[in-house]
Chains A and B, each alone.
Chain A
């Protein structure tokens, strides 16, 4: 008998008539079941009109058939809040069922009572739950445990007032271990949503829970492991015992058990001095455990990879990986390839850089354009991160862009600009090679970078003025960051090569000051104009534009990959949330989920202080913030958030700090921060000039 035909919307009048018919005929039970199935179909299809037939359904409680009763219970749970008046009629039946001989019926009665938020139900439920918590059958006790949470969500004050929470607490000492685990889950709901209550367990209980771990099914193991986070060890031996006891769970095939076990181990390792000394193979075990999870389906892989990033940022010494395990496969979906690239970047060091470079070179020649771009960006970031490997990285990049493929050249321009900032006077040869491809550049990022490069290296480039003319031939239509770059580069060109640059700089400045609509461009144009044409431009010794050169040709602050790290406090909180949704976004939990409770490492005599990370105040994350131009980032902390509709109201606006914190990705941040410092430098110089003038008079 296929239910497919029953899966359609109906109305209460029809069904009521059908029920009446069914009661009259023979084999009434099976006919009634058909009608009830239609009712269930309507519940699924969200048809609230059926609440009108509540009295008829309640009548069916008289029939002693478990299947019919179950469907009536389901009807009641769903519609009682729509039709509270009629729902009250069911209460006497439910009370009767609470004392039924079958534990299934008892449990269902408790569950249905607790699911309904009507006032009269809540009153009866308190008593029912209390009896249920002490029932002889473990299935009923388990249902009663969850019923406490259901009550709590309807009416927290009443639940607490009637001491139900403490009675639930008693269940933690139940002799049936399934009941214990489910009571833990129920308590975790209550503590998560209560401002005042938290779960606290003592040492004996934590060891008892560990012994339960071995016998429990996978879901119970998850709840038990979670509860272990509530114990605060008072000395190192306790913490070590617990770590050792949790290690077997790393072998479980359920990835959630493994991730929760890792969460527990990382938590307890904060209370042990030098965990690496006592468990020398722990990093390798955690590492291999996580890697074997990579054979699971894509979504789970993604979660595991995000947590790998979290662990690498926060507790690097606790995990050891080989970078080859994170090399991308062709079939991986794009979000996994992205995350793997970030991990490869984090794991790259002087020893394995050659293997990594070879692999990145392969990706850069792939057919998938976005993958190739990310690979090149990763190559650039590596060059900045590892000074000893910079030559090798740049060689690879040069091999790639020499093929002359458009998107590769453009990406290489952006990347090479960053490299030049980090190593100011190196790589001239490679720069010249890149500049030969200037005609391929049309994307804004790449154009701005190329213009900057030309401005920096104009002394080494032959016929630089013709090249420059061609590139900026469109500058009136170029986007803003390109226009900024053009202004600065034109001025630099003029300063360093006055004969060649004069015509260009005049053109550019004229246009910027007279024809541009953007006030910032205009102002900048004026500033440059006045600097160049000022009578003090050549300074005391009369060298050409000496003072102007001092101002504009200042060496840029050297960039560094400091963006690798997140604020230690945030890391601490995220580590307490390994495997949860927050670990995907790698942001403070309360930023993503406003109502979530903030977690932090509880204090104890043996709490190890985390070493202070490098001083970066904020997480510069790819957000929908105006400063990021494009969504393509290989920043270490790039989250998928930028591409999901993540409402900006949940984010506190982040200002890039006035220090030159380098965002390892975009050029735009650097432009804006250099604009800030530019203005500051100018005011400084202006006051100095004024002071000099004043003193001269």
Chain B
């Protein structure tokens, strides 16, 4: 599948290279650098415009690449290959190496470990297993305290001592669960306090018009779990009764209010998918530490957290008047934080005046936007912003002269970019999803402490007017 893998820094220097198959020379790395990295660096002003496609094919050789902050990951392939597998592999590799942000130092400071890693996770160009717990058994180099891996180096050392040159771990992990090959969790993990943290994180995307009518809306949610559990626990996860997960047999779904309809859900590889398909049961043995259990998509019956009524009209030829009313529709006790409303203005504003019933508003001439910020916006409240902007007067606007001068100062030519709203709301789920139960079953029958947290974030909340 993959013939060679290269990791470059932002200038194009090779930080890591690994050739998996014959038929390619090491200097192919120069080709990628010249073709992609140099052209991107040159055209830095309109960088997104230069990226035409995430794949570059020259002759029979293709370069599939991603960029992680300033680091480039490039997989070289020959002939037609499964591009989806390669892209997923690159992203998985990135998250394996990254703690917060990947830098060229973190790779060069651990180059021998990364090189060994690349040899273990991909065999002859085919990715085999990127699970950290499995890899610990086979890697011999100790990572530095830079924490290139997500886990702390102390846990690493303890397992390394256990498996330095013996054969037990390799086969015992597969013997632990004879009917399931659990490659993502090694047996023998022990914690004093067994706890599970569940985070339901939702991103809501809404487009509405100036009368707060929803044009379209959907919620992308994911459930992240952090588990500190001993042994090999079997977990069962259930959602509230009112959630309906669509499957092959639900032809007519009751879309009336009160039901949460999840159009599609994607699960981590540890979830037994056939049990889910037949019984709607989410059963799994979780990997140790943090992972994303499930991602879902919801399009109907969404509780809109905010309703915005926008009234924007022109006074004369050079003045624009705004009256923006924001109403919060979630329970009164819950505050929304980091609330920010961006109200765009045309270019060439001479003077602006704004007043608001709460929060702080300020006009930013460099971005042509009035920024209305709140520290805390509680539920079931309504606030208003009134603003007026005065523009440079362009009174000579017959269409012919307009065409010749091609100015965009006039209000007439203003394209009315949508008002954008950003926020974070804790303990509120806009899809209405609720976790009903999470049962943990393990041989030693210990008690588990469980914490559940919901949060809704604005994905892209736009108001057109």
Instruction: Tell whether A178 pairs with B108 under 8 Å between CB atoms, given A143-B123, A214-B272.
Output: no
Q: Is the CB of B60 within 8 A of A595?
A: yes
Complex contact B84–A303 (CB within 8 A): yes
- The CA-CA distance from A1 to B295 in the complex, in Å, is 40
Q: Are A596 and B79 in contact (CB under 8 A)?
A: yes
Please encode chain A, from 415 to 432, with 1 for each CB lying within 8 Å of some chain B CB and 0 for all others: 000000000000000000
Chain A interface residue number, banded: 35 or more
| Interfacial residues of chain B within 403-424, with CB under 8 A of chain A in the complex | 403-404, 406, 412-413, 415-417
Residues of A within 8 A of B56 (CB): 644-645
What CA separation (Å) do A120 and B48 show in the bound complex? 52
A87 to B165, CA, bound (A): 26
**Which chain B residues lie closer than 8 Å to A491 at the CB level?**
none
Q: Choose among A289, A404, A577 the residue that contacts B402 (Cβ–Cβ < 8 A).
A: A404
B269 at the interface (CB under 8 A from A): yes
Residues of B within 8 A of A74 (CB): 115-116, 119
Q: Is A295 an interface residue (CB 8 A)?
A: yes
Contact present for A644 and B57 (CB under 8 Å): yes
- Cα distance A44–B26 when bound, in Å? 9
- Asked if A248 contacts B87 (CB within 8 A), the reply is no
Contacts A255-B84, A589-B80 given; indicate if A67 touches B264 (C-beta within 8 A).
Answer: no
CB-based contact A594/B60 at 8 Å: yes
Instruction: Please tell me if B127 contacts chain A, counting CB pairs below 8 Å.
Output: yes
| B314 / chain A contacts, CB cutoff of 8 Å | none
Please give the distance in Å from B415's CB to the nearest CB on chain A: 4
- Report how far A588 CA is from B35 CA in the complex, Å: 25
* A189: Cβ under 8 A from any B Cβ: yes
Chain A residues with CB below 8 A from B58, complex form = 644-647
CB distance from A2 to the nearest CB of B (A): 5
- Whole-angstrom distance between the alpha carbons of A154 and B59 in the complex? 23
Chain B residues with CB below 8 A from A579, complex form: 82-85
* Residues of chain A from 217 to 240 with CB closer than 8 A to chain B in the complex: 217-219, 221-223, 226
Q: How many residues of B contact A (CB 8 A)?
A: 115
Shortest Cβ distance from residue A56 to the other chain B in the assembled complex, whole angstroms: 19
Q: Is B194 an interface residue (CB 8 A)?
A: no
Which residues of B have CB within 8 Å of A185?
Answer: 1, 126
Is A251 a contact partner of B109 (Cβ separation < 8 A)? Answer: no
Q: Select which of B35, B268, B297, B399 is within 8 A of A295 by beta carbon.
A: B297
Q: Is B23 an interface residue (CB 8 A)?
A: yes
The stretch of B245-253, B356-364, B429-437 that contacts the partner chain: B245-253
Distance (whole angstroms) from the CB of A680 to the closest CB of chain B: 39
Q: In angstroms, how far is the closest chain A Cβ from the Cβ of B8?
A: 12
Residues of A in contact with B (beta carbons under 8 Å apart):
1-4, 6-7, 37, 40-41, 43-46, 66-67, 70-71, 74, 101-104, 111, 117, 137-139, 142-143, 146, 149-150, 153-154, 176-178, 182, 185-186, 189, 192, 214-219, 221-223, 226, 247-249, 251-256, 258-260, 279-282, 284-285, 288-289, 291-293, 295, 297-300, 302-303, 324-325, 327, 329-331, 333-335, 362, 365-367, 370, 403-406, 437, 439-440, 577, 579-585, 589, 592-596, 640-641, 643-647, 650
- Beyond the given A7-B111, A217-B269, could you list 16 further A-B residue pairs with CB under 8 A, ordered by the A residue number? A6-B111, A44-B17, A46-B17, A104-B138, A137-B171, A142-B128, A219-B127, A226-B82, A251-B277, A253-B295, A256-B82, A258-B266, A292-B264, A303-B83, A640-B52, A646-B58
Selected A-B contacts with CB under 8 Å, 14 pairs: A41-B112, A44-B115, A104-B167, A186-B124, A214-B273, A281-B247, A291-B297, A295-B220, A297-B66, A299-B54, A335-B54, A406-B403, A579-B82, A643-B52
| A-B CB proximity, top 5 nearest | A640-B53, A299-B54, A288-B264, A256-B84, A248-B277
